[in-house]
Structure formats: structure tokens, C-alpha cells
Chains A and B, each alone.
Chain A
Amino acid sequence: MIIAVPVDEKNIKSRVCVSFGRTPYFLIYDTDSKEDKILDNSAAASAGGAGIKAAQLIADNKANILLTPRLGEKAADVLKAAKIAIYKTTNASAKENIDAFIAGKLSLLDEIHKGFHGHGG
């Protein structure tokens, strides 16, 4: 299973980024090999639709699970179509959130915020 997490810094101990579409990096963690890698989020600099582009990026990287504190509705549409499940992070680090998810302690993200005239994400 492959887990994606928006992160502020380029390592697994980083804090989870508050924004999905505008996060500088994504941490991609493979639960089978226990390996992780960092992706630059090319969507971060977009004028609009950043969430859509970021969702495309993690779908292209074959993620099955996304851990994020919040998410825009357009990004959610893409992720839903890509059959990626979305869970809500806590204030802890990316690593601690991944562990909590594996232990079944995170809940599904059920609150999706409306985009800001398409400039959100």
C-alpha cells in the first residue's frame, strides 16, 4: 500500500503541511518495502487549480491513501475518481501519522472545503 502525505520538509519526521495543493513536498511511503521518497509538488506554484494538479501528482505516483489535514472539493473529486482513500492527520509528524494510520487510529476526512473560486485547493 502506498501512502502520500503533504509535508513541509524533505524528510519523514517533518510536520504535515497545512495545505494539500500548496504543500512544497509530498512524502510517498510504501508500507510493503517500508521505503519512503520525497516528491516536489509542482502544483504549489499554480495560479489556480493547485489541488487538482497535486491530486494528479499523487495519483500518478500510485498512492492508495492520502493523509492530510484538509482538502478542497476539486482535489477530492480527482482523488475519488482515482480511488484514493483520504484520512485526516493530527498535529503530529508525518511519521507518527503514518504509524497511527497503520494502527487504525486515524479517521476518514469527511469535511471537504469549497474551493475559493477555483483558486483554492
Chain B
Amino acid sequence: MRIAVLSGKGGTGKTMVSVNLSAATKKSTYIDCDVEEPNGHLFFKPVGINEEEVSVLIPEVDKEFCNGCKKCVDFCKFNALAYVKDSLIIFEDICHSCGGCVLLCPEKALTEKEKVIGMVQKGMSDQVEVFTGILNPGEPSGVPIINRLLDENKSENKPGNKSESEQMTFIDCPPGSACIVMESIKDADYCILVAEPTLFGVYNLNMVYELVTLFNKPVGVVLNKCLEGENPAEKFCLEKGINVLTRIPFDKELGLLNSNAEIAVRKSEKYRTIFTSLLDTVKKEVHHETAFNS
């Protein structure tokens, strides 16, 4: 069962929710797909870390063969190539590794070379397997790292392996609604949206809500930082008929635990109860969906 946790912007508590849900599950996998700013490992402090580099292929030119026809320059839709004063300039940090120019070059002057763009780390924190994706600064796209994270997780939970359906995986998605978020949720069985009780929060919520409905994913909302009085995010959910999974109150204890990079469910009975019951709700929702769709 793969649960993606999303929010329209950073700072809503997306990582807090996904980390605590993973920790509330006895055995689970937590995947940090927020590759530009992975924070989950700060809470989990995983041990026995295994690192693997992730690289992509980018073009390299052999000047001997290049005749300056500029076909590659005109082709590259990312504008990663320029040809001036008899030489080809390749902007490696703009290239999206589509491989098109290499196929296209009539002189076979272009070949592919590997470029490291980041890495994935795996480690354990109690019973939680922690996967972290890290994108090197300045790289144009974290998508290859996300794909590696999700593929590794899939190959570990091969179908037929009887725990597959029970094994819980939580995907901490990058904030926003760009293509990297779509990659992160593509195999998810359920999406949890984390929202703040402000007007700006509603704006962000609406953005990710539209994204997940585009992908036809079943969805529920966690209202975070709830105060007494009106909650615009809750009102929005009511109007749109979106399922509210739980309300997490705004309080000092949780804030303090978070700022000390502690996992609330491992420290406090109160939060263990909140997240265990959220977990049950989510599981029920997913089973309901599966029953409904088959």
C-alpha cells in the first residue's frame, strides 16, 4: 500500500505527517522524495546507511567530427546547446538528458557520458526503512532520483511477496504541483493532502487537489495547525466534498518536538493515539477504494 503525502508549499507539516505515520506503523517504508530539501532523515536519524549515486547521460562533442550544422542546437527544446565561433557549447545544467541530439547528429559527433546528479540513501530507524533522495544543487531535474527511489522500493516489495499488500510505504512528496510531484504520486494508492488553516493554505490546497484529481487518485485531507474558530481549509473541503481525515491541533508540544527533530509518536502517547487513528482511517479508505473499484 503506497500512501503519498503532499502539500502546495513547504512548511505545512507534510514531512511531520509522513514521518509520524511511518513511525506509527509497525513496519513501514518512508521515502523522502523532496529531493531538493530532504528533511525526513533528520527526524528518523537512520543507521546502517547505504549510499548509491544517481547519474544521467548528457552529450559530449567530438570536435573532429562536428561540422557546425547546428541541427542539435535547433533541436534541443531546453536550449542547452549553442554553436558559436566554430565550437559547440553544452550547458550541462540545462540539459534534461533526453538523448535526442545524440541520435540526431548526422556526423555522429555527439556521444553520451555519465553525469552524477545526486544520490539515494537507505537506512533503518527502528522498524522503519528510510529512503532519502538527494539532488545536487543546480541540477535541473530531480525526476531521475525519484524514479530510482520508487523503483528500488518496488523491487524490494515484489508482487507475490505476501507482505506486499500489507507493507505500508509513505511517500513524502516535493511541495507544489510540478512534474516532479506527478512522478512521486504516479504509483500511489492514496494521497493525503496536508493543509494549513489560512486563505493562502486554501489556495495551495486547491492546487494539489486539482493535481491529484487529474490523476484520479483517491484523496483525503489532514488539517494541520488547527486553532479555535473558523478554518478556511475545512470550509473548502466541505464545499468540494473532500474527505477530512483528521484535525491536528496547533500546540506547543508538537511544535517543540518538531523543532527538536523528534518524532512525536515515539515521544508522546497523545500523538501516538492521533496518528494511529489517522493510520486506521487511511487504511480503511484505501480498502474501501479497492473494493469500490473492483
CB neighbours (8 Å) of B80 from chain A are 49, 52
Residue interface bits A34-78, CB-to-B below 8 A is 1, else 0: 000000000100111110110110010000000000000010011
Give the residue of B79, B83, B85, B140 whose beta carbon is less than 8 angstroms from that of A83.
B85
Main DSSP-derived SS at the B contact region: loop
Q: Contacts A56-B73, A74-B91, A118-B94 given: A49-B79 contact, CB under 8 Å?
A: yes
* Interface status of A82 (Cβ within 8 A of chain B): yes
* Interface-centre pick from A46, A53, A83, A118 (highest chain B CB count, 10 A): A118
A83 to B78, CA, bound (A): 23
Q: How many residues of B are counted as interface, with CB atoms below 8 angstroms from the partner's CB atoms?
A: 17
In-complex Cβ contact of A56 among B84, B87, B140 (8 A): B84
Contact indicator per residue, chain A 66-101, by CB within 8 Å of chain B (1) or not (0): 000000001001100111000000000000000000
B85 and A118 within 8 A (CB): no
With known contacts A59-B84, A78-B84, A118-B140, A50–B89 Cβ distance under 8 A: no
Chain A residues whose C-beta falls within 8 Å of the C-beta of B84 in the assembled complex: 55-56, 59, 78, 81-82
A43→B79 contact, CB < 8 A: yes
A47 touches B78 (CB 8 A): yes
Within 8 Å CB of B87, what residues of A? 81
Contact B94 A48 (CB under 8 A): yes
**B82 at interface (Cβ–Cβ under 8 A)?**
yes
Residue B77 CB within 8 A of the other chain: yes
Q: Size class of A's contact patch?
A: 10 to 19
Q: Is B107 an interface residue (CB 8 A)?
A: no
Complex Cα distance, B33 from A71, in Å, reads 34
Which residues of B have CB within 8 Å of A52?
A: 79-82, 91, 94
- Across the interface, which residues of B come within 8 angstroms of A48, CB to CB? 78-79, 94, 140
Interface pair A82/B73, CB less than 8 Å apart: no
Q: Is B93 an interface residue (CB 8 A)?
A: yes
Q: Find B85's partner among A46, A53, A82, A117 (CB 8 Å cutoff).
A: A82
CB distance from A81 to the nearest CB of B (A): 5
* A48 CA to B81 CA, complexed, in Å: 12
Report yes or no: B83 in contact with A74, Cβ–Cβ below 8 A.
no
User: In the assembled complex, how far is the CB of residue B72 from the closest CB belonging to chain A, in whole angstroms?
Assistant: 12
B265-287 interface bits toward A, Cβ cutoff 8 Å, 1 = contact, 0 = none: 00000000000000000000000
Q: Contacts A47-B77, A49-B80, A53-B79: A77 and B140 contacting too (C-beta < 8 A)?
A: no
A55 partner residues in chain B, CB cutoff 8 A? 82, 84
Chain A min CB distance to B97 (Å): 13
Determine the chain B residues whose CB is within 8 A of the CB of A43 once the complex forms.
79
B73 surroundings in chain A (CB, below 8 A)? 56
Please, which residues of chain B bring their CB within 8 A of the CB of A47?
77-78
Closest to B84 in A: A82
What 6 new A-B contacts, CB under 8 Å, besides A46-B79, A56-B73, A59-B82? Answer: A48-B78, A56-B84, A78-B82, A81-B85, A117-B140, A118-B140
Residues of B at the A interface (CB closer than 8 Å) are 73, 77-85, 87, 89, 91, 93-94, 138, 140
The 5 closest A-B pairs by CB, nearest first: A49-B79, A82-B84, A53-B79, A118-B94, A52-B79
8 A-B pairs (CB sep. < 8 Å): A47-B77, A56-B73, A74-B91, A81-B82, A81-B84, A81-B85, A118-B78, A118-B94
